[in-house]
Amino acid sequence: FEGTTAGWDWSVGAMNSESKTHNQGKNYISSTALQNAIEDGTVNPFGTSANDPDVIDGITVNTNRKADSDLMSIDGNISSEIFELPAGMVGFAAGIEYREESVKDTPDPLGEQGLIIGSGGTSSEGDRDLTSLYAEFQIPIIDTLEAQLAVRYEDYSDFGSTTNPKIALRWQPTDWLMLRGSYNT
């Protein structure tokens, strides 16, 4: 949703995304079954003739890997020109966002144990949420020089918070030349 109220532009948004995957692998070789077949003489890995299809069926396995990820986000922003300087209007913008993220990856149990030749994996699972706020000023210094002052604060549930400032300059002495520079973290 977006609009203008009392000279302020505003927007509010929400998003939800879910992804679920299921991967099936076919005809992987079980290291345990292959080792047993070599030891009992059923399979000769150095033989010149083809192995019996039933023997091959006995050493192959199918795998299953599942993964889920979820993302939910809500944000809001406001902006307006707030007062006038001799070189022009000072612009202001501010916003807030809240986001939740989660992921779960579950490999095939045989692959996770290292029992499939040429395939493996480990399971992983995690979630976090993030709250962030920002504020920004666009300040005309003279007709050809403009400054931007901004700060962003973020608080992550899994590692803590951070505050990051930004200062930028835009100088345009002619229609065909513009120089920009900024410092931020």
pLDDT tens digits, 119-133 = 777 889 999 999 999
What DSSP state is assigned to residue 50? P
Q: How far apart, in whole angstroms, are the C-alpha atoms of residue 164 and residue 154?
A: 8
The residues that bridge with 48 in the sheet, in sequence order, are none
Predicted confidence (pLDDT) at residue 142 exceeds the cutoff of 90: yes
Predicted confidence (pLDDT) at residue 36 exceeds the cutoff of 80: yes
Task: Encode pLDDT of 86-136 as tens digits.
Answer: 999 999 999 999 999 999 999 888 888 888 887 777 889 999 999 999 999
Confidence of residue 48 (pLDDT cuts 50, 70, 90): low
Average pLDDT of the chain, as a whole number? 92
Q: How far is CA 43 from CA 39, 51, 52, in A?
A: 8, 7, 9
Q: Which two tokens stand for residue 153?
A: 């604060």
**Average pLDDT, stretch 146-168?**
97
Q: Which residues contact 174 (CB under 8 A, 6 or more apart)?
A: none
Q: How far apart, in whole angstroms, are the C-alpha atoms of residue 54 and residue 62?
A: 15
Q: How far apart, in whole angstroms, are the C-alpha atoms of residue 156 and residue 71?
A: 15
Predicted confidence (pLDDT) at residue 46 exceeds the cutoff of 70: yes
Q: How far is CA 148 from CA 51, 73, 99, in A?
A: 73, 27, 26
**Average pLDDT, stretch 8-34?**
94
**pLDDT recorded at residue 74:** 98
